[in-house]
Amino acid sequence: MIEMTIKCPECDAPVHVDGPYRKVFCRTCRSDIEFPQEVWGDLVGDIKEEIAGFKPGEGTNSNIFGHFNMTLTYGRLAPYCSKCKREFVIEEDYNGSDRLTCPDCDTVKPAFTAPEWFDKAVKGAVLVAGAWPEDNDAEEHKTVSDPVAFSCPQCAGSLMIDGKERLIQCEYCETRVYLPDDLWLMLHPAKKKTRWFIGFE
């Protein structure tokens, strides 16, 4: 089990790393952050070695300073249902495609075969649970699906805001408008940290 947060190298904001991704996105400064394959190999290799001595259910916290400033929680836990807390039985609950389904409450969690690049970096990794595949992590850049109306503070013109830019120009009076925090946070809700799991053969 892994929970991971790194500091953005550009702005020092916390960025949750909610799966084995080669690139993560800082919602504060809107930067893409490369997460090198070799960093994954060193990090998970060290974790795997340490938790080999843990009993099931044991874990620990760590702060790591290196390629990234990182806060980690990790341990020897089986994937479990976030709703009813039942542990998943991989052989029974994994359908072999992209999800784990809890037989007690029908909660569905993402799961997928470890990508080839991750398997090369982390020897023996075969399954990732609780995280979306890298090419399906739409949450990273998610904004509201429909534009939101907002009045220009200078001329009261009605502006349609799509959340792509925080500093916009009024189409009526050409004033540059900085979107207020409450509107920006509605368009870009805070991302919650996710606990995810790696299965080894």
Residues 196 and 130: beta-carbon distance below 8 Å: yes
Would residue 201 count as lying in a domain?
Answer: no
Whether residues 71 and 158 share a domain: the answer is no
- What is the Rg, in whole angstroms, of the alpha carbon atoms belonging to the chain? 20
Rounded to the nearest integer, the mean pLDDT of the chain is 89
- The per-residue pLDDT for 2 is 96
In a domain, 124, yes or no: yes
Q: In what order do the strands lie in the sheet with 125-129?
A: 99-101, 108-113, 125-129, 197-200
Same domain? 32 vs 96? yes
Q: Are 113 and 45 within one domain?
A: yes
Is residue 198 a contact partner of residue 79, using CB atoms and an 8 Å limit?
Answer: no
Q: Specify whether 36 is located in the same domain as 87.
A: yes
Same domain, 157 and 61: no
Who contacts 48 (Cβ-Cβ below 8 Å, separation ≥6)? 122, 124, 200
Residue 15 sits in the same domain as residue 31: yes
Placement of tokens 């790194």 in the chain: 6
> Do 24 and 109 belong to one domain?
yes
The residue behind tokens 């540059």 is 176
Between CA 113 and CA 109 the distance in angstroms is 14
Domain co-membership, 47 together with 27: yes
15 and 97 fall within a common domain: yes
* Residue 98 located in a structural domain: yes
Asked whether 110 and 2 are in contact (CB, 8 A), the reply is no
Same-domain check for residues 133 and 39? yes
Pairing of strands 99-101, 176-178: unpaired
- Assess if residue 35 is contained within a domain: yes
Within a domain: 26: yes
Whether residue 159 is found in the same domain as residue 176: yes
**90 occurs within a structural domain:** yes
Could you write out the three-class secondary structure of 28-42? CCCCEEECCHHHHHH
68 in a domain, yes or no?
A: yes
Confidence (pLDDT) at 144 = 52
Backbone angles phi, psi at 138, to 5 degrees: -65, -20
* DSSP annotation of 66: S
Confidence of residue 63 (pLDDT cuts 50, 70, 90): very high
Host domain of residue 170: 148-187
Residue 19 falls inside a structural domain? yes
Predicted confidence (pLDDT) per residue in 133-177, tens digit: 887 654 444 445 578 999 999 999 999 998 888 899 999 999 999
Phi and psi dihedrals of 74, rounded to 5?
-150, 160
How many domains does the chain fold into? 2
**Does the pLDDT of residue 86 top 70, yes or no?**
yes
Residue 114's identity, in one-letter code, is A
How many CB atoms sit inside 10 A of residue 145's CB? 7
What does pTM read for this prediction?
0.76
Q: Are residues 137 and 102 in the same domain?
A: yes
